[in-house]
Chain A
Amino acid sequence: MSHGLISTELYYKIFATLMALTTLTVIAAFIDMGALNDIIAMGIACTKALLVILFFMHVRYNSPVTWIFVSAGFVMLLIMLMLGMNDYVSRSWDAPPSPWTAPPSAAPASH
């Protein structure tokens, strides 16, 4: 574990970067880039969060156990979102042909 290895100068640098990224994300929000807007906004948010986690929260200087814990949390969040959205995204897809409907050759008039 670290004991005050980081200089205060680094903290100020991180702070400046975070503020710059905030400005950037606000500016980017006003420019219409289609789907890219979402990606940029979330990318910047993730970068900011990563900076806070690594430097302000000292994870960069901590034992691997902390790394594992942090990533476990976010991986689990990702799993929830992905498997959950899997349902919502595919709801509007056509259902696969049912094996119980008559084959097309037998009854062309049916829907």
Chain B
Amino acid sequence: MNAPGTVKERNFINADYGIKSWLLTLDHKRIAILYLLSTTFFFVVGGAAAVLFRLELLTPASDLLQADTYNKMFTIHGVAMVFFFLIPTIPAVLGNFLIPLMIGARDLAMPRLNLASWYVFNLGGLLALMGIAGGGVDTGWTFYTPYSTTYANSQVILTALGAFVSGFASIMTGLNFIVTIHTMRAPGLKWFRLPLFVWAHYATSLIIVLGTPVVSITIVLVALERLFHIGIFDPALGGDPVLFQHLFWFYSHPAVYIMILPAMGVVSELITCFARKRIFGYKFIVASSMGIAILGFLVWGHHMFVSSQSIYAGLVFSVLTMLVAVPSAIKMLNWTATLYRGSISYQTPMLYAFGFLGLFTIGGMTGIFLGNLGLDLHLHDTYFVVAHFHYVMVGGMVMAYLGGLHFWWPKITGRLYPEGWAKLSAIIIFVGFNFTFLPQFVLGYMGMPRRYASYPDEFQMLNIFSTAGASILGFGYLFPMIYLTWSLFRGKKAGPNPFDAKGLEWTVPSPPPTFNFTETPVVTEEAYDYPI
């Protein structure tokens, strides 16, 4: 396909020029790039806020930031990271780019809806940024009532509206994936021949479609309550603030799986490719993805053990929470079994995949602690929780995202990244991450509560560790931004399949042409037909 010495090939990047050709594009690959830019921007915003409050936590007193500003900083961090980075990024960037390629389609089923979702996403982001610029919000990303509806004296409505609007973008993407995966698979690509990345996105899309509308209407109710005091969440008027938590977590707990399932899909691809081995237990991984999607909806009450939720409901939720560990563990075992006797090569994406395995295991296991009704009474709202979900979110989702971004970077851009630099930064990120969050487990266990600008002196040493780690982590994230940009201009040409990987996306030139396949591929074999 890519014969040496051919004149410049037409691909989706050089198919057309000018800003308009990007802003009005219907090509899923270009929309993925637009999403890459938007989500990276919000990652930087959220990261900058984190830098500020980590610096504040160097000393026990609240000196760099006033308590009020500190509250606004961690809210910015939470809102930007959760709603505008963790939830959309893998589906909207990697999923958008790869799903049509992986299933042998020319585009997603609804290209206009896809473009619309990017605009809606940015509109949501703009609203949230306006909230920040107009004074900030101090409720935390969870907008708990009645603080958010009655007492908070900050831009709650604008910011919540931003989350509301971005929810529609996520629904649009989810719908698009469901329809595409159902109807546009290439001939011969049966459901059980689909790459696990596609399965993971299918499960994710189901969660998005079933969960997001609930948080949308909840945000509307919060706004109505705040504007008109209609009483639904106001205890003074007979409302129940805990009902808000029920509705909020009915979406926001499954949202955790919206973040991690695509990451698991990426890791499945990476591990089987760099172990040169067929994935172990394909159907089990598929079933566990769907299992996580369903079970994820049954456990939301474990966020509310110390609210006034009934103790019996707590018991039920605690037991159900233990069940979710099963499908996650199945995946973990399948991955390790795939590695066993594989011919492993330690290239950058694989380093990230290894990082994911270790960190996600720690994050998942500490989740079991927190799901225990009794233990959670001690650990609730401490730094233990903060460390736990950062191990899952950053150690899981961000690691997998970076791994996937490196893995498919040659496909997306047609250029190779500098391997040495990439390996170095993968190691820096891993080290920095552990330095940042491992001490927080200890801090939390010792009783340091989250969301305070000041703390007793005896916690200082561990906080210094954490802040030091955060600065390493920050630098670690800067490296890929620099060398990946550099590789766009100076990187070596990649060729269609630099990693010798299996899958339809590797059969087309890099970068792929606008309509992906010159003729519709016919699939005759199972996924992951690797030598071992």
Contact = CB atoms under 8 A, between A and B. Distances in A.
Contacts of A96: 311
B298 A87 contact: no
On chain B, which size bracket covers the interface? 10 to 19
Given A83-B301, A84-B246, A87-B246, A72 B210 contact: yes
B401 interface: no
Given A91-B310, A93-B312, A83 B182 contact: no
Interface string A72-111: 1100100110011011111101011000000000000000
Given A72-B210, A76-B210, A76-B297, A86 B182 contact: no
B85 interface: no
Nearest to B314: A87
Contacts of A84: 246, 250
Q: Main secondary structure on chain B at its contact with chain A?
A: helix
Interface string B305-317: 0001111110011
A96 B312 CA distance: 9
B214 interface: yes
A86 B320 CA distance: 13
A82 to B, nearest CB: 10
B310 A93 contact: yes
A65 to B, nearest CB: 7
A83 B246 CA distance: 9
A95 B311 contact: yes
A73 B308 CA distance: 29
Contacts of B250: 80, 84
Contact of A87 (B182, B206, B210, B301): B301
Contact of A79 (B298, B301, B308): B298
A90 B246 CA distance: 15
29 contacts: A65-B182, A72-B210, A76-B297, A79-B297, A79-B298, A80-B250, A80-B297, A83-B298, A83-B300, A83-B301, A83-B313, A84-B246, A86-B310, A86-B312, A86-B313, A86-B316, A87-B242, A87-B301, A87-B309, A87-B313, A88-B310, A89-B310, A90-B312, A90-B313, A91-B308, A91-B310, A93-B310, A95-B311, A96-B311
Interface of A: 65, 72-73, 76, 79-80, 83-84, 86-91, 93, 95-96
